[in-house]
Amino acid sequence: MILDEIIIRKATDADITRVMPVVIATREYHANLNELDRLKDGWQEMWSGYALQIVNGKGWMYVAEKDEEVIGYIMGNPQGQPPIFEIDKTAYISDLFVDPRFRNAGVGKMLFDSFKEQVASEGYSHMTLRYAANNDLGAGFWERMGFKIDSIAASQRL
């Protein structure tokens, strides 16, 4: 079984370059779905800097490995709300992507479960995320993970 061969672990600084092929695939996939997800030149260096901050305590990042190859990742960061709300501390999932060769094998769920367990252990009671309205693949996955739409974001080109 493929899941027996998958290792899920917290990402390290060294993983930032190792995960880049999966990150590139993530970004290409999303750029085709949503204008707001299109990237500017030099994005890879900026993403690497952001990911290093996440790995070094500004958030959470896990990688999935098979035969020492990174085949997926999940990352996110704390997200606050104004203190007037009962739930003022949430964990935001910014990325989750699995190499298409390993989809529908449970790798995404394994990554998500590790992320969820970590943020819950740190006292977070809720997680949030955003996906493109036409991202049927993402919508189905997140629904299976127990997410429900409780707000809608909209954009307007100026």
**Segment 108-152, tens digit of pLDDT:** 999 999 999 999 999 999 999 988 888 888 889 999 999 998 887
CATH of the domain at 103: 3.40.630.30
CA 102 to each of CA 22, 69, 94, 157: distance values in angstroms, whole numbers, following the listed order: 12, 12, 20, 36
Domain range for residue 28?
2-144
Question: Each residue of 139-156: b (16+ CB within 10 Å) or e?
Answer: eebbeebebeeeeeeeee
| Residue at 74 is within a domain | yes
Confidence at residue 152, expressed as pLDDT on a 0 to 100 scale: 79
Which token pair is 125?
């009671």
Q: How confident is the model at residue 83 (pLDDT cuts 50, 70, 90)?
A: confident
List alpha helices for 8-106, DSSP H: 15-18, 20-31, 43-53
Report how far residue 128's alpha carbon sits from residue 5's, in angstroms, rounded to the nearest whole number. Answer: 30
Tell me the pTM: 0.89
| Residue at 21 is within a domain | yes
Which range is least confidently modeled, 10-14, 38-42, 76-80?
38-42
